[in-house]
Amino acid sequence: MNRRQFLINLSVVLGCSVVSVESMADAITSQINNNASKGHFTETQLECIKLIADIIIPQTDTPSASQAETHLYVDYYVHHFMTTKERKVFVAQMDHLISDRLLQLSSSRQVELVQKIDREMYQGTEQSTFYSKLKQLIVIGYYTSKVGATQALNFDPIPGPYQEIKLDQVGGVWF
């Protein structure tokens, strides 16, 4: 197993911690029973996820979420680890967001719309629950990707000897 495959598997395990054991068992059972049904997001849905991911984690001195291919992580997670019912609700909410013509809006309006949804995230509506899950998957996918772990976080594969340092000397978010 190479490092990339290990990180992919690790991100799946971390993502699975968000899902109940019953949901995982149902997802695995349905995959075994129905191996022929391998649905994935359409190009429009993937573009919508890319857009939202880049608004949540834009390119700064580190790569953006779409450059880390978080949209592919979301696609993999939704189609391999969500139950059929959860997947249908997630896809329906994604389609609802696309029907709001998110992709056709100007970039400033796109940011405004996503910020509005973000502010309403804890309202408990179906749309806010969808957005909360999508944002969670984007963040997990980004920080467990090679790009996120090596460039956005202070990753050191060979840390060297133990040296006691103060927290303000660490920098970044890897502590």
pLDDT tens profile 128-138: 788 899 999 99
From the CB of residue 106, how many other CB atoms can be counted at a distance below 10 Å? 8
- The answer to whether the beta carbons of residues 131 and 122 sit under 8 Å apart is no
Looking at residue 2, the DSSP 8-state letter turns out to be -
Query: In the prediction, which pLDDT does 91 show?
Result: 92
Cα radius of gyration rounded to whole Å, the chain? 18
Looking at residue 161, the DSSP 8-state letter turns out to be S
Tens of pLDDT, residue by residue over 56-99, are 999 999 999 999 999 999 999 999 999 999 999 999 988 888 87
pLDDT, mean of residues 27-37 = 48
Confidence tier at 25 by pLDDT (50, 70, 90): low
Q: CA 18, CA 150: separation in Å to the nearest integer?
A: 24
Q: CA 16, CA 10: separation in Å to the nearest integer?
A: 10
- The answer to whether the beta carbons of residues 80 and 27 sit under 8 Å apart is yes
Decide if pLDDT at 161 tops 50: yes
Query: In the prediction, which pLDDT does 32 show?
Result: 44
Query: In the prediction, which pLDDT does 38 show?
Result: 46
Q: Share the mean pLDDT of the chain.
A: 81
* Global pTM value: 0.67
Token pair 């309202």 in the structure block, residue: 123
Tens of pLDDT, residue by residue over 103-150, are 888 889 989 988 888 888 888 787 778 889 999 999 999 999 988 888
Confidence tier at 173 by pLDDT (50, 70, 90): low
Q: CA 171, CA 25: separation in Å to the nearest integer?
A: 40
Token digits for 3? 């490092």
